[in-house]
Amino acid sequence: MPIPPLRVLVLEDHAFQRSFAVSMLKHSGCSEVFKAADGAQALAILQEVGAVDIALCDLCMEGMDGLEFLKRAAQAGLVGSIIIGSSLSVDLRRAACQIVSLLGLDVLGDVGKPLRPEDLAFLLKKYLKARGVEPVTLPAVKQADEELVHQALAEQQLQAWYQPKFNLLTGEVCGVEVLSRWQHPSKGTLSPAAFIPVLERCGLMDELLFSQLHQALDLQRQARDRGFSLNIAFNLQAAQLANGELMSTIKGILVDYGAHGSSLTFELTETGLLEASATSLENLVRLRMMGSRLSIDDFGAGFSSLQRLCQLPFNEIKLDGEFVRTLEDEPRCRTVIASTLALGEALGMSVVIEGIETEEQHQQLLELGCTQGQGYLLARPMSGTDLLRWLQESSV
């Protein structure tokens, strides 16, 4: 398998296993392979040579252990993806993978010990494949200047993009999720990473939501005129529910476009919902009373509270895409998906599966009884103009 230039660090306290892993990586074609016997040595190496693409990391060792190393490396931005290679029990390794994910690092897999060449080759291939299907990195500032973001919002440069949701059984589009892109006059299309943190810091997320509502409801009306009925889903932060004027503004925008609340879905991540205020709960209830659907987004990505799931008026679960990405490698993910489907049915809630990227995943999800999903296999995010054209072409 030809490997583009990859920088890999091997953190392993056992000399023979460390040398064996280094040899396998070099034989696979990795351009630069660094090695360390403990976390402190690994940090010192990375501070000297710079960040690596992948760290093959043991967990239990003398001195600074693997978890402490990964915590510090993540904070310093010195590691991209992680392969866990440890002789600890499976449950401990699984918990470690969860910790690593919460640190913001990508867990490629858990190879255990002894390390097998075929396992390592598979994960390297997985890394390259994932890198290949990611959206092209477009010209962007890391975080734009606050004044420029204010100007972009005022001049409607922050555009709504749309990713379809599908009925997996029929292939029909059952709705779209609204995302944001910055159509910069000189730098092209910029990702949300360039402006969302600035909007959050400046308290402008409500203004973004209302702008998205105007754009999306106009698109919904155009689609309806062409014979397409679209439910439109908006991402809503838990903090926005504390806005006492939220409902009156949303209702006013719906009136402007002759739209109904039943044609909207609002997606909220479970993070931030654990301490919902009275105003937040009231807004959730009023959204449902308006006919809108409420969806828990990225379900399972954090520490899900089933109690809150029962207490809050949600009627849709969006299962985090991580369970799909590891569906073929981790048998427990299949169980989690099946259990979530059963939970949704028991609670009278629909379940949408995120992150479908391969036909194999699609088929396995159908076998499990999944009926709704979205992901790059089915359709990528697109502008409103492209969505209308895509809907027209797909219906032919």
314 versus 145: the higher-pLDDT residue is 314
Q: Which residue has the tokens 């990702």?
A: 191
What is the predicted pLDDT for the residue at 4? 52
Domain pair 7-133 / 146-394, same fold: no
Domain 7-133 sits in CATH 3.40.50.1820: no
Rounded average pLDDT over 250-257: 97
pLDDT, one tens digit per residue, over 377-394 is: 999 999 999 999 999 998
The runs of H, that is alpha helices, within the chain are 15-27, 39-49, 66-76, 90-102, 117-133, 146-154, 196-201, 205-225, 246-257, 278-289, 306-311, 322-325, 331-347, 359-368, 384-394
Query: Is the CB of residue 9 less than 8 Å from the CB of residue 55?
Result: yes
What is the predicted pLDDT for the residue at 270? 66
The sign of the CA dihedral 283, 288, 290, 294 is: positive
d(CA 309, CA 313): 8
146-394 CATH choice from 3.20.20.450, 3.50.30.50, 3.40.190.10, 3.40.50.1820: 3.20.20.450
Kindly report the average pLDDT of the chain as a whole number. Answer: 86
What is the predicted pLDDT for the residue at 302? 52
pLDDT, one tens digit per residue, over 264-320 is: 999 997 666 666 678 888 999 999 999 999 998 878 655 455 766 777 899 999 998
What is the predicted pLDDT for the residue at 163? 96
For the chain, the domains span 7-133, 146-394
3-state SS class at 332: helix
What is the predicted pLDDT for the residue at 363? 94
d(CA 378, CA 267): 20
pLDDT at 328 over 90: no
For residue 49, give both structure tokens. Answer: 């040579």
> Would you please indicate which residues are annotated as catalytic (active-site) residues?
354
CB-based burial, 291-313: b 16+ in 10 Å, e otherwise: ebbbbbbbbbbeebeeeebeebe
pLDDT, one tens digit per residue, over 174-213 is: 999 999 999 988 888 888 888 988 998 899 999 999 999 9
Q: How many CB atoms lie within 10 A of CB 126?
A: 18
Q: Residue 138 — pLDDT band, cuts 50, 70, 90?
A: very low
Q: Residue 132 — pLDDT band, cuts 50, 70, 90?
A: low
Question: What is the pTM assigned to this prediction?
Answer: 0.67
3-state SS class at 358: coil
